[in-house]
Amino acid sequence: MKKKLIIIEPECKSPSGHGLISLEQYYLFLKKNKNIICIANKKLNKKFFFCKKKIINHFVIGEEYFKIKKFIDFLYIVPKFIFFISKCSFLIFNIILDRKLKYFLNCFFLNSFKIPRYFPELIRILKKLNLNKNDDIFFPSGRPISLQALYFLIEVYPEYFPKVHFRIVHPIKNRGKKDNFYKYLNIFIKKNLIESKIFFYAENLYYKKTLEKYHNLKTVIFNGLHYIKNNKKFKKKVTIGFLGDSKKFKGFDKIPNIINKIQNKKMKVDFIIQINNPQKELQSSIKKIELMSKVHKNILIYYGKINNKLFHKLLNKINIIPLMYKKNRAKTFGSGFIYTAIGSGICLIIPTNIENWKKNINGKSYLEADSQIDYVKKLVFMIKKFKLFNKLAIRTKQNYYNDLNKNPLIQRLRS
């Protein structure tokens, strides 16, 4: 019987962002090696499931901690009160039935009389899926709240505790008593669980350095996973894509002028633009794009959230993705579209001198730009030389695939 791998994305409640996409990618990449079950948020609509048998949606966002204050607040809201009582009843019944009350009360006391948000769900998963020490749990977007729930789980159910792979996407600095992440990390260190039962990973070099500086924590980098087997065939007409949430820090406001300038050069180019969750300040930019799409048939707009099937269909059409992040944002944050583009054989144009981003692109399938005018120049150059850049994108994709197979996280999840 195959070992079980449970991939948990409790914040994944819609197809927006990279949560659902990453779940599907991990499933497709690792399914030959283990019995994989992906767990998303209960608010995730079933129509977005990539495989109905492989997603169990237990998690509910917004339940907060199980505090006395919450109990009093919920008295005035019947649905929340019923939910609170049902959760408490399930938890207490199982703790007493399993003769774990003493261990549970000890954790409850040490945790300032709070029960972490996901602890009841982790018990449900443990029991329903019959997990054991040989199985693996993977948190691709690990947050302090999940670490607290794991602390409760290992204290109350140590005999069932599987190996945990915890990828931290927002490292927390040392803030003393206020920092729950640091508090529970110390507990795991004292119990000698780091690198034996619990393994930590960072999204990029910046996060790795933060964790090692403030927490003295040995950390492996795992950037992200997106891999499509088939390579893109070269075609004469190039498609430029602007996908994801419509945010100013991502350069969405620059899109109309960039399209205008490229259109004026009479180049054979298509544009695919997603308008999703836009900021109010971007309404004028959206109106400009909409007016342009009515005049030019080569400008296609997709509104709102995109399901996995359509997302992959669009990626198959797109040849170039400009990532026009503001520099201060790019230096401290990654972009899931880097790995999406690399794994899909798509060329990139990124902000200049962002070393974290450049190191993640193991190949020459990108150019750098430092202004709106420069993005246009680099796009024009890449379009004219696209036959060459397409070959570079295929090579970059192969390098990325080789790096994935060598990564400690992938090797551990496959073992």
Model confidence at 375, pLDDT cuts 50, 70, 90, reads very high
Please check whether residues 108 and 50 belong to one and the same domain: yes
Q: What average pLDDT score do residues 236-249 get?
A: 91
Q: Same structural domain for residues 245 and 165?
A: no
pTM for this one?
0.81
Share of the chain above pLDDT 70, in %: 86
90-126 residue pLDDT tens: 777 788 888 888 888 888 777 766 777 788 888 888 8
**Which pLDDT belongs to residue 179?**
57
Instruction: Provide the domain count of the chain.
Output: 2
Q: Which of 169, 191, 221 delimits the end of a domain?
A: 221
**Does residue 357 surpass a pLDDT of 70?**
yes
Of the pLDDT bands very low, low, confident and very high (cuts 50, 70, 90), residue 154 is confident
- Residue 60 has a pLDDT of 58
How far, in Å, are 64, 96, 103, 154 from residue 93 at the CA level? 20, 5, 14, 19
Residues 10, 134 share a domain:
yes
Say how far apart CA 31 and CA 117 lie, in whole Å.
Answer: 29
Last residue of a domain, one of 196, 221, 246: 221
Q: CA-to-CA distance for 198 and 406, rounded, in angstroms?
A: 20
CA dihedral of residues 99, 35, 118, 74 (deg, nearest 10): -100
- In a shared domain, residues 148 and 296: no
Domain carrying residue 190:
4-221
**Which pLDDT does position 291 carry in this prediction?**
94
Closest residue by Cα to residue 66 from 37, 95, 99, 40: 95
272 and 183 part of one domain? no
For residue 350, what is the domain's CATH number?
3.40.50.2000
